[in-house]
Amino acid sequence: MKRLLWTLLAAGCLLPGKPAIAAPIVREMPQTQAQGLTGTGASVTVWAGSGTNIDFTRTGETIQRAWLDDPSLLTLDFDGSLCSHSAGNDCSGASIIHLRRITGIRFPNLPATSSTLLTVVTQTNQGKKVYLFNVGYGSGTPGYATVAITPSFQLGNGIVLRGDRATDWNTVEAGLTQAIQQHLILPDSPVALRVRDFLLRVRSGTPVQQAMQDTKVTMAIISRLATLGSSSPSVSQTQF
Give the pLDDT confidence of 147-180 residue by residue, as tens digits: 999 876 443 444 444 433 445 788 889 999 999 9
Which residue, 62, 56, 53, 66, is CA-closest to 152? 56
Residue 59 shares a structural domain with residue 174: no
How many C-beta neighbours within 10 Å does residue 182 have? 14
In a domain, 10, yes or no: no
**pTM: predicted TM-score of the whole model, two decimal places:** 0.56
pLDDT under 70: residue ranges of the chain: 1-24, 38-40, 84-92, 152-167, 209, 231-240
Q: What is the domain range of residue 216? A: 155-239
- pLDDT value at residue 88: 54
Residue 201 shares a structural domain with residue 136: no
In a domain, 4, yes or no: no
Count of domains forming the chain: 2
pLDDT (tens digit, 9 = 90+) per residue, 134-147? 999 998 889 999 99
The SS3 of residue 128 is strand
Inter-axis angle of helices 190-203 and 219-231, to 10 degrees?
90
In a domain, 11, yes or no: no
CA angle 210, 213, 216 (to 5 degrees): 140
Which amino acid, one-letter code, is at 26?
Answer: V
